[in-house]
Structure 1
Amino acid sequence: MTSSRSDTRSKIVDAAERLLREQGPTAVTTRAVAEGAGVQAPTIYRLFGDKDGLLDAVAEHVMATYVSAKAEIVRAASADDVDPVEDLRAGWRAQIEFGTANPTLFVLLSDPERARRSPAARTGMDVLRSRVHRVALAGRLRVGEERAVELIHAAGTGAVLTLLSTPPSDRDPGLADDLFDAVLRRILTDTAPFAEDGPLASAVALRAVTPALDMLSDAERQLLTEWLDRAISAASPVTR
């Protein structure tokens, strides 16, 4: 019975996703979805409550599939010792491509309320944090990890929404990359020896590995974390 319910749910979500992708949100009617999935309309109400609940399920399904692929890429990049900044750039470009290819779903998931209750959206943020963490471990960040995550996420969301608000023929193909480069200039340290941001980058890198310093007690790690967070916050150029 559980398997049958799951199969029915998957058929409905697939039918709604197809309508949403091909014809837009107005095409996702109970009747159209029911016909596409080969079920009775009451089944949709029983499983999803209403159209909004169905759209949430579709967005979650598409996002979960996309995030799972992103997580696998991050794991492969870590194993293959891919440059963390280039891996971050690849993730940025993939997000821009996903957003512009799935405009309706992206707008749905950009709604703060939906994002807060979306497991896939939270997992996507965790993938971004993993990418940023690799940059921190490499000694390349001159802001705290969470600040870097927030800047990248905000810029990425803004870039996609700006592109979506522009007719495809008028879109600036370099807009997203230019914006990402601007963010990188704010969050990355100079790689030259004895660069001005060297001490700050070192503090961020040490903060990144602090949880793994097993030779310290829990209290010592907590105190070190507090000191480093304070130093990073005070020295970060973004907060000056």
Structure 2
Amino acid sequence: MDLSPLPLTSVVGAFLLAFPALFSIVNPVGAALTFHQVTEGRSDRHILAWRIALFALFILLGSLLLGGYILNFFGVSMGALRVAGGLVVAIRAWGLLMQPEANESRKADAAAPAELQDDVAFFPLTMPFTTGPGAISVAIALASQRPSDGDGVISFFIGVSLAAVLVALAVGVSYRWSYKVLALLGRSGARVLSRLVAFLLLCVGVQIISSGLESLVPTYLNALT
């Protein structure tokens, strides 16, 4: 059994790929402002923050670790998964970049029932407010970047899992101290930050599309010759 250390560069590379993408689509800083609004007056706000962070971590890890394999089970090739996933990520990023107000409005509508319910940690404050379909689709797209086999697969999943943990921690911290986020940034500052991280997400989407085309194009060219 080979007990040699895992390639550090692979772990770091996977982390640097996943963290900006997950952070920008979850946007814990911007979401903290809406969280503060819909939970105002609740005595369990601090407990809610960490419960939401834990639930968000489970959703992200499940999507990262299982999403790609589930799609492969249904016959979706790795190249097609990467191109489709990259397109989803790029389209999401473009919307966040050009119309952050629309994204804020959708998130506010998703979180609105929290003002009227008692048990709101999972629904609606985790799903769909914090880690909704957009975050899940981005996580699955990231999973498509995994190596085909070998130790690289382990290194990749360690890197993306660390990214998911850090994003979930950012959710807990931002929600727990949402009043400080509101005082420090306000809506305008949150939108500026959202645009910056959305541009990073757009770059990640283009990178995923590029890697998918690299595997698909030679296959089709070989079929034609």
**Could you say which structure has the greater relative contact order, defined with CA pairs below 8 angstroms and 6 or more residues apart?**
2
Q: TM-score, normalised by structure 2?
A: 0.32
Q: TM-score, normalised by structure 1?
A: 0.31
Bigger radius of gyration = 1
